[in-house]
Homo-oligomer: A and B are copies of this chain.
């Protein structure tokens, strides 16, 4: 059996419905991967994450490398056995967190030196080490170490980061891996279509099982993201899964699905839940607002998740208002249900060649309902 199999089941324009098979799980795409940074999708047990429909989650290599360390996790059979997640796992390379969290960083052609954001200790990450740590974590999909320039980086800076990312990608491929672990390359290029397309062409020649678009949602204008996605995503190899890293709102996901993206991850549904914001078919709802105090209705009558079945906005608002842990927990569960069903309906619509119409209508309804004062995603 191969490490990864990807079939497309239906197309509509650039959008596609597919089926991705890894050793650990088979699931349809487009799909959203909940973020389980420290080997836990915050506040939820794995069976609850599973109950939302998720069959693949993401864990962050940087965090687990720092605490508790890859040796400890490898000795427990990997992240999945340790946390009791029975389906598929994708790990990032750790690079993004080194660039966004670490106190000091010094990048050179061989790797990046930085200080841990926890204890200030000096650490060094190289492409080889990133792959070795991911092998120890036992993920089903490992990401190459890339250089992700900050949002405001100039074209020259971006071009240099691309060259280095390609060099590092080649080195990652040389590292031995577990026989079940797929490897994805990462296309950089910020909002420069030509740089993105050139980088894509380079990486497409390398033996990756899938390709990702990195370096979005780093501060660039949303219209640039949308434009570049539209230009680049449809040009990615059609026979491999396409992964848009770290994006985004339900609107962003529906746009990207229309461009042919298959896989997503983002902290929005989980992080915003902890701040009292929920997503729904009627737009974003901020449960911190006093208007929900006496609202006996569910978050979304169309939702059907266990939270919408059981609890009123009034009660959920109380939990958030008084700082009870059950609040973030329930809102996280709802939001992950919502993201999963957004992707499920997208797959159905593509299968029925109705995606374009359905997505426009879904966006229209969500935009109409977005609460004034709802926290910006």
Give the interface of A toward B (CB within 8 A). 38-40, 42-45, 63, 67-68, 72, 75-76, 82-84, 293-294, 296, 310-312, 314-315, 318-319, 321-322, 324-326, 328-330
Cβ 8 A contact of A40, one of B39, B43, B45, B324: B324
Q: Top 4 nearest A-B pairs by Cβ distance? A: A43-B325, A40-B326, A40-B324, A38-B322
> Could you tell me the distance in whole angstroms from the C-beta of A81 to the nearest C-beta in chain B?
10
Chain B residues lying within 8 Å of A43, measured Cβ to Cβ, are 325-326, 329
Q: How far is it, in angstroms, between the C-alpha of A60 and the C-alpha of B288 when the chains are bound? A: 23
Q: How far is it, in angstroms, between the C-alpha of A42 and the C-alpha of B329 when the chains are bound? A: 11
CB pair B315–A82 under 8 Å, yes or no, is yes
Given A72-B294, A75-B294, A314-B76, does the pair A324, B42 have CB atoms closer than 8 Å? yes
Q: How far is it, in angstroms, between the C-alpha of A149 and the C-alpha of B171 when the chains are bound? A: 72
CB pair A68–B325 under 8 Å, yes or no, is no
Shortest Cβ distance from A77 into B: residue: B296
Can you sample 7 A-B contacts with CB below 8 Å?
A38-B318, A45-B310, A67-B321, A68-B293, A72-B314, A75-B294, A76-B315
Q: How far is it, in angstroms, between the C-alpha of A310 and the C-alpha of B63 when the chains are bound? A: 23
Given A76-B314, A314-B76, does the pair A325, B324 have CB atoms closer than 8 Å? no
Shortest Cβ distance from A39 into B: residue: B318
Tell me the interface secondary structure of chain A in the complex. Answer: loop
CB pair B321–A329 under 8 Å, yes or no, is no
Cβ 8 A contact of A76, one of B44, B45, B296, B321: B296
> Could you tell me the distance in whole angstroms from the C-beta of A296 to the nearest C-beta in chain B?
7
CB pair A72–B326 under 8 Å, yes or no, is no
Q: How far is it, in angstroms, between the C-alpha of A147 and the C-alpha of B42 when the chains are bound? A: 42
> Could you tell me the distance in whole angstroms from the C-beta of A330 to the nearest C-beta in chain B?
8
Q: A43-B325, A82-B314, A325-B329 are in contact. List 19 more A-B contacts (CB 8 A).
A: A38-B322, A38-B324, A40-B319, A43-B326, A43-B329, A44-B326, A45-B310, A67-B318, A68-B318, A72-B293, A72-B294, A72-B314, A76-B314, A82-B312, A83-B315, A84-B311, A84-B315, A325-B325, A325-B328
Chain B residues lying within 8 Å of A42, measured Cβ to Cβ, are 324-326
Chain B residues lying within 8 Å of A326, measured Cβ to Cβ, are 40, 42-45
Q: Which of A68, A294, A321 gathers the greatest number of chain B CB atoms within 10 Å?
A: A68
Chain B residues lying within 8 Å of A72, measured Cβ to Cβ, are 293-294, 314
Given A75-B294, A329-B43, does the pair A310, B38 have CB atoms closer than 8 Å? no
> Could you tell me the distance in whole angstroms from the C-beta of A116 to the nearest C-beta in chain B?
13
Chain B residues lying within 8 Å of A76, measured Cβ to Cβ, are 294, 296, 312, 314-315
Q: How far is it, in angstroms, between the C-alpha of A330 and the C-alpha of B45 when the chains are bound? A: 9
Chain B residues lying within 8 Å of A329, measured Cβ to Cβ, are 43, 325, 329
Q: How far is it, in angstroms, between the C-alpha of A84 and the C-alpha of B312 when the chains are bound? A: 10
Chain B residues lying within 8 Å of A310, measured Cβ to Cβ, are 45, 84
Q: How far is it, in angstroms, between the C-alpha of A42 and the C-alpha of B328 when the chains are bound? A: 12
Q: How far is it, in angstroms, between the C-alpha of A75 and the C-alpha of B296 when the chains are bound? A: 10
Chain B residues lying within 8 Å of A314, measured Cβ to Cβ, are 72, 76, 82
Chain B residues lying within 8 Å of A296, measured Cβ to Cβ, are 76
Chain B residues lying within 8 Å of A39, measured Cβ to Cβ, are 315, 318
Q: How far is it, in angstroms, between the C-alpha of A311 and the C-alpha of B46 when the chains are bound? A: 11
Q: How far is it, in angstroms, between the C-alpha of A222 and the C-alpha of B43 when the chains are bound? A: 37
